[in-house]
Structure 1
Amino acid sequence: MANTVFCKKYQQEMEGLERAPLPGAKGQEVLENVSKQAWLEWQALQTMIINEKHLNLMQPDTRKYLLEQMDKFFNNEETDRLQGYVDPGDIQEL
């Protein structure tokens, strides 16, 4: 049986992650409050941010920045926009 959590991004009960995706307290917080769907969506956005901004994950400031963006994403706050990226949901039919 799948683990369920009340997802703070979607504000509903959803399938949760099987294990903490990060070490420590932050990982436990994500495990308890973020759905599997929201985590997968964050991973896709995180990859785009890393690639677009040419981030070096060896730098502590970069890791801090990504955690801030992750918190914004899960709290439905606006994250940094990627240059030239258009969300498919924002495209209106002609």
Structure 2
Amino acid sequence: MVYCAKYKQELEGLDEPPFDSDFGHKIYNNVSKRAWGEWVEHQKMLLNEYRLQPWTRESQEFLVEQMQSYFFGDGAALPKEYVPPSGH
């Protein structure tokens, strides 16, 4: 169990850090499995909307900044061009 930074309550934590870095361990200690799953979906949208190439350093740095905001800041902003799927 972790006190989730996003939901401000005790929730089930991740099984292991998402990556081996100080930031990965910060996520492991402060982000619930539920919030991480929602981030993964949000990240897919960012990758598609910004046409990011996740193997590039620039894309990785951008995603870490977004992740920092998503979990520990004001929340991640949607791209201004983003149109949610209509559900058809």
Taking structure 1 as the reference length, the TM-score comes to 0.81
Q: Is the 8 A contact 1:9 1:76 kept in 2?
A: no
Figure out how many residues of one structure are paired with residues of the other and give that number: 85
- C-alpha deviations, 1:20-66, integer Å up to 9, x for none? 11122111111100000000000000001001111011221110110
> Which of 1 and 2 has greater Rg?
1
| Map 1:20-31 → 2, pairs under 5 A | 20-31=17-28
- C-alpha deviations, 1:54-92, integer Å up to 9, x for none? 1011221110110000111112514231324349xxxxx
Q: Is the 8 A contact 2:49 2:82 kept in 1?
A: no
Identity level (%):
35
Do structure 1's residue 47 and structure 2's residue 44 form an aligned pair?
A: yes
Taking structure 2 as the reference length, the TM-score comes to 0.86
Q: Is the 8 A contact 1:6 1:14 kept in 2?
A: yes
Q: Distance in 1 between matches of 2:43 and 2:61?
A: 13
